[in-house]
A and B are shown apart, each in its own frame.
Chain A
Amino acid sequence: MSGAVQTVLAPPAGPARRAVRDPLVAGLVGLCLAVAVGLLVARPAPYLVNALGQLATFAILAVSLDLVWGYLGILSLGHGLFFAIGGYVCAMHLLSHGVAVTGVQPDFVQFMGWKSLPAYWAGLDHPAYALVLALALAGLVAFLFGLASFRSRVNGVYFSIISQALVYVAMLLMYRNDTGLGGNNGMTGFPLLFGWPMGSPGVATGLAVAALVALAAVLAGTRLLVGSAVGRRMIACRDDETRLRTLGYSTTRLKLGIWCLSAMIAALAGILYVPQVGIINPRVLAPDLSIEIAVWVAIGGLGRLGGAVIGAVLVNGLKFWLSTAMPEAWPFILSGLVLVVVLVLPNGLLDLVALRPRPNWLRRSR
């Protein structure tokens, strides 16, 4: 399996060699697949399986942000929105599936005094439809928001602020109890996954393996993209958008396409996350959570897909450990990490291994 991935990542003949060779990404793809195989063979303790699976979904989310931030210079502080769209649609599928099999209505339906799920839930018990809907919805929301922003040339910090406002508005909407999406309690109590009891070890292992394989695929795919001619245009757009336009390229189309792709990858992470934690509620739309995604990427190393993975795994691994050991210290530790990165390692932890020269576009005010 990892042999095939090596072939995929092998540098093609011609001028693009430098851009395509990326031992860090190749290594991480191999590691993901090896851990996936390890989970299937060794069957470690359930909490470890679950933690690894969740870390993989956070890493996918970080890669989705690095794709637009690191390679296009678009900092989204609202990527939690796309993650939540994936998560909510996945939760809707799991609840519909439960109703279809057991006939018992979810808690929030009973709480609202309704007899059954709202009409727009129809068909969501079909997993393929739910998957397509989640990705399409994330893509559509990203398209509309991106079209409005990029066409009117909203860039830089303005874009970041608006993206943050968007996720905040979505949170306020989801806190309402009459939307038919669980309101402030969210959705939980998923009984089954593809007909299998949710809590069983087999399901937990399956989910973690799926998340790891998805991470490997997302990493390999995004690496191929950024190493391609399109990737070079992304870097060009990041460094000098006007220059690229005056060479005949529609940067709006380029940004819109990658932005939508990024949103769909974030939604994929949300889809894989919700069954592993067994709950989704409007907290995932909290602005500080979206900012945290940017922190993972910045800590790992912006503009290196492998750095995003390392940052997400490191910060969340630390969080898993410390939030049980000393939960009240977590915000301070995270802030400390951010300060260290900003002051000492402007390109994130990858600075430590000096895998790349410092890109000066980061410091240039745009």
Chain B
Amino acid sequence: MTGLVIEALTVAFGRFTALDGVSLAVDPGEVRAVIGPNGAGKTTLLDVISGITKPVSGRVMLGDRIDLTTRSEAEIARAGVRRKFQKPSVFPALTVRENLEIGCGPAVPAGARAARIASVLGEIGLRPRADIIAGRLSHGEKQWLEIGMVLAAEPALLLLDEPVAGLSDAETAQTAALIRALRRPDRAILVIEHDMDFVEAVADRVTVLHEGRTLYEGSLHGARSDARVIEVFLGR
């Protein structure tokens, strides 16, 4: 079982401390939402987990053996971590199918890819668009394609950075259903989102980040009645 354990993570950009001793544990099978105002450090947290940013101190353990802070992006991905970026990051010059093919990762043999791509195309609802250049997709379709790309690798840890940003209400509901369907006993999911209804629909627990620190951890219901959380969200 590979959950995620983050211990006392501190990240600095020059003299600015973006994350200040953040600790967080996501169990396998859990969907955790990280919420917080803009600039709270949510994306930075995912940057550290996926190896793009190196922390000043702290550890990020995947399972009980691998410290992700010592690994490269590609090694982290090969250990079963996949991330959907805040700005939809698909390869615009390749088709939907080709994007998913790359999403399967280098380890999946060519023979096994076709079946996996077909099933992911069904899950993300882009089967009719499979041979379209990704650059021509709508914003919502790009969001789904990117979710499909990270799904195609069957990740043990899935990181989703604002997966419903810029989506219509109907698209948001569809995406929530999709993410609920991704829950598996051997998979931990960490999702960053502003949309509280969406968080309520997908997450088991929430972590509230504010100015690089953990402000609250527990149920969304509890967060809504927490005095400090209310202050931060109303005060902006």
A: residues with CB less than 8 A from B are 15-16, 18-19, 229, 232-233, 235-236, 239-240, 242-251, 359-361
**Number of residues of chain B lying within 8 A (CB) of chain A:** 33
CA distance A251 to B91 in the complex (A): 15
CA distance A248 to B82 in the complex (A): 9
| Chain B residue with the shortest CB-CB distance to A232 | B98
B192 CB → nearest A CB, Å: 16
B2 within 8 A of A: no
A120 CB → nearest B CB, Å: 39
| Chain A residue with the shortest CB-CB distance to B84 | A246
- B102-110, B178-186, B206-214 - the one binding chain A: B102-110
B205 within 8 A of A: no
Contact assessment for B102 and A246 in the assembled complex, using a CB-CB cutoff below 8 Å: no
Contact assessment for A245 and B72 in the assembled complex, using a CB-CB cutoff below 8 Å: yes
Contact assessment for A246 and B52 in the assembled complex, using a CB-CB cutoff below 8 Å: yes
A253 CB → nearest B CB, Å: 9
In this complex, the member of B83, B91, B103 whose beta carbon has the largest number of chain A beta carbons within 10 angstroms is B91
| Chain A residue with the shortest CB-CB distance to B150 | A247
B: residues with CB less than 8 A from A are 50-52, 72-74, 76-78, 82-83, 85, 89, 91-95, 97-98, 101-103, 105-107, 110, 130-131, 135, 149-150, 153
User: Can you list 7 residue pairs at the A/B interface with Cβ under 8 Å?
Assistant: A15-B130, A235-B93, A239-B92, A245-B74, A246-B77, A248-B78, A361-B92
12 more A-B contacts (CB under 8 A) besides A239-B91, A245-B72, A246-B73? Answer: A18-B95, A232-B98, A236-B91, A236-B102, A242-B73, A245-B77, A246-B83, A247-B82, A247-B105, A249-B74, A249-B105, A250-B106
Partner of A240, one of B78, B89, B103, B131: B89
Contact assessment for A360 and B92 in the assembled complex, using a CB-CB cutoff below 8 Å: yes
Contact assessment for B74 and A232 in the assembled complex, using a CB-CB cutoff below 8 Å: no
Contact assessment for A247 and B93 in the assembled complex, using a CB-CB cutoff below 8 Å: no
Query: Known: A229-B110, A232-B98. Is A248-B74 also a contact (CB below 8 A)?
Result: yes
A40 CB → nearest B CB, Å: 40
Question: Which A residues are CB-close (under 8 A) to B74?
Answer: 245-246, 248-251
Contact assessment for A244 and B93 in the assembled complex, using a CB-CB cutoff below 8 Å: no
Contact assessment for B72 and A247 in the assembled complex, using a CB-CB cutoff below 8 Å: no
Query: Known: A245-B74, A247-B77, A247-B149. Is A359-B85 also a contact (CB below 8 A)?
Result: no
Contact assessment for B93 and A245 in the assembled complex, using a CB-CB cutoff below 8 Å: no
Q: What are the nearest 9 A-B pairs in CB distance?
A: A248-B77, A245-B73, A248-B105, A236-B91, A243-B89, A248-B78, A15-B97, A250-B74, A246-B73
Contact assessment for A247 and B153 in the assembled complex, using a CB-CB cutoff below 8 Å: yes
Question: Which A residues are CB-close (under 8 A) to B52?
Answer: 242, 246
CA distance A16 to B94 in the complex (A): 10
